[in-house]
Amino acid sequence: LLNIFFLLFKKNYKIFKKRKMLSKAKLTTMKYLKNEYDKLQNDPILSLGCTVGLVNNDIFHWKITLLGPVDTPYAGGLFILTADFPEKYPNVKPEVKFVNKIYHLNVSPSSGHICISILNSFKPKTPIVDVISGIFSLFYNQNPDSPYSSDMADEYRNKRGEFDKKAKEWTAKYASMNQ
């Protein structure tokens, strides 16, 4: 009977110890994210038409809105993104994607995933404000060398007027502030 008790205690102690370690890692990530979130609230990017908020007060899930800049096909659009941070952030990249559809070379039309070097070659300790700034810069500087669709890249390179027209149409249809 004593042996059974000892075996159960040993097994439960290992489970408890593992949970405690995960909790410590999660707590560290939460503190890191809170610090980044607080710094972001005073960052100049917010003056460019960007907002950042928590989804359901969860520090691991953020909602980001970007206003489409004037002089781009995205002007007048309100683009919504989500940023989901893993427990091992900042050592593991966040998943950042568009919620509403956008006609853009570097964004998947079906999933909203973004093809951008700062995420593709993510380095630990990269501030999230740099990721957001990089995404915002894609409104101005699309990268035809790293497209989600080769057809879109061809259209962008060879029929830019048609590409911009579609981007404006999608902006009006999927990112209108009147929706």
Catalytic residues, by residue number, are 115
Give me the DSSP letters along 126-170. --HHHHHHHHHHTTT---TTS-S-HHHHHHHHH-HHHHHHHHHHH
Residue ranges with strand state E in the chain: 50-55, 58-67, 78-84, 95-98
Contact 54, 62 (CB under 8 A): yes
Cα 82 to Cα 90, 97, 111, distances in angstroms: 17, 6, 12
According to DSSP, the residues that pair with 80 across neighbouring strands are 65
Give the pairing type, strands 50-55 and 78-84: unpaired
Q: Report the run of H or E that residue 17 belongs to, with start and end.
A: helix 2-40
